[in-house]
């Protein structure tokens, strides 16, 4: 007897599991060149604050002690550049992203910032990382895990490539928990962001998917359980900006 076809969410649509990655790739291929500009417009610049909090929580050493960071789904380099600026001379980052258009933008930004020697860009899939076991001192993923078709596999891979005593950090959109703000947030998300995407990038559909995908992502407690199931210890999260985003952390002990 054959196994039933597996499906997953792509925004508000159910699609075959094997089709989601290609659909996600097309979204980010379309918006890559204006991705960071749209982040500023959509968040009023708050994404910069959230990412700074993530890097401060990572707390890379400010000395010459070697520290290897793996930043997954971070093609434009935002997290890696912030971490490199905060860290000492022993810091190196590998940015792994499945989308070549995003990586191209990241490499151009790295060259402009003279980070070529500290930040490397590699094409790869979060579900099947091409890195050895216990290779990294930190793993970050910002606003990327909800686009992974098999989140459990990505979390298992994160655990595999981290050294014992290293930390996993995931920044992701969450569930607004402030009465009144939730309605304003929904109104802005569905009525403003897709038309804004059309004006800035020429693509409203990709941003319609992005706001829909946020609503399908597990709530913080459920996602924390998934992180624990992958093997991580001392799993925790903090919500930011009234629950618009959550920063999840866990340790490989």
Among candidate residues 182, 169, 237, 181, the one with its CA nearest the CA of residue 215: 182
Structural domain for 158, as ranges: 7-252
Q: What does the alpha-carbon distance between residue 187 and residue 227 come to, in Å, rounded to a whole number?
A: 31
Q: Please list, in sequence order, all residues whose beta carbon lies within 8 angstroms of the beta carbon of residue 95, skipping any fewer than 6 positions away.
A: 71, 74, 75, 77, 80, 103, 106, 119, 120, 121, 122
The per-residue pLDDT for range 76-121, each reduced to its tens digit, is: 899 999 999 999 999 999 999 998 888 998 999 999 999 989 999 9
Phi, psi of 89 (to 5 degrees): -70, -15
Structural domain includes residue 94: yes
What pTM value is reported for the model? 0.86
Number of domains in the chain: 1
Structural domain includes residue 151: yes
pLDDT at 139: 98
138: β partners: 69, 167
Q: What does the alpha-carbon distance between residue 251 and residue 248 come to, in Å, rounded to a whole number?
A: 11
Q: What does the alpha-carbon distance between residue 128 and residue 154 come to, in Å, rounded to a whole number?
A: 7
The per-residue pLDDT for range 9-67, each reduced to its tens digit, is: 554 455 465 655 655 556 555 566 676 777 787 788 899 999 999 999 999 999 999 99
Structural domain includes residue 39: yes
pLDDT at 15: 45
Structural domain includes residue 1: no
Cα 63 to Cα 84, 87, 208: the distances in Å are 12, 7, 43
Among candidate residues 166, 152, 173, 153, the one with its CA nearest the CA of residue 217: 173
Structural domain includes residue 211: yes
Cα 222 to Cα 7, 217, 227: the distances in Å are 20, 10, 9
14-22 contact pairs (CB < 8 A, 24+): 17/149, 17/150, 18/149, 20/149, 21/98, 21/125, 21/149
CATH code, domain carrying 105 = 3.40.50.150
Structural domain includes residue 111: yes
Least confident of 58-67, 123-132, 204-213, 230-239: 204-213
Question: Please, where are the H alpha helices in 44-175?
Answer: 46-58, 78-86, 100-113, 151-161
Phi, psi of 235 (to 5 degrees): -75, 135
The per-residue pLDDT for range 166-212, each reduced to its tens digit, is: 999 999 999 898 989 989 989 888 898 888 878 887 778 877 877 88
Structural domain includes residue 2: no
Q: What does the alpha-carbon distance between residue 125 and residue 121 come to, in Å, rounded to a whole number?
A: 13
Structural domain includes residue 40: yes
């Amino acid at each position: 007897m054959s196994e039933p076809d597996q499906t997953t969410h792509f925004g508000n649509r159910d699609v075959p599991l094997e089709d989601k990655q290609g659909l996600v790739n097309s979204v980010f291929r379309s918006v890559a060149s204006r991705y960071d500009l749209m982040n500023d417009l959509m968040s009023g610049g708050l994404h910069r604050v959230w990412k700074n909090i993530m890097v401060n929580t990572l707390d890379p050493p400010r000395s010459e002690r070697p520290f290897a960071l793996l930043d997954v789904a971070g093609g434009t380099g935002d997290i890696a550049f912030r971490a490199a600026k905060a860290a000492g001379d022993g810091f190196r980052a590998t940015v792994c992203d499945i989308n070549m258009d995003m990586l191209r933008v990241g490499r151009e930004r790295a060259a402009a910032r003279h980070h070529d020697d500290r930040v490397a860009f590699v094409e790869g899939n979060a579900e099947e990382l091409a890195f050895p076991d216990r290779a990294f001192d930190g793993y970050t993923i910002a606003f990327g895990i909800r686009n992974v078709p098999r989140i459990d596999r990505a979390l298992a891979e994160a655990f595999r490539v981290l050294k014992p005593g290293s930390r996993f950090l995931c920044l992701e959109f969450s569930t607004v928990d402030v009465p009144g703000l939730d309605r304003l947030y929904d109104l802005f998300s569905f009525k403003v962001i897709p038309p804004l995407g059309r004006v800035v990038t020429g693509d409203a559909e990709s941003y319609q998917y992005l706001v829909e995908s946020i609503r399908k992502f597990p709530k913080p407690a459920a996602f924390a359980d998934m992180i624990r199931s992958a093997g991580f210890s001392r799993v925790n999260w903090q919500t930011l900006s009234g629950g618009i985003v959550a920063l999840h952390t866990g340790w490989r002990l």
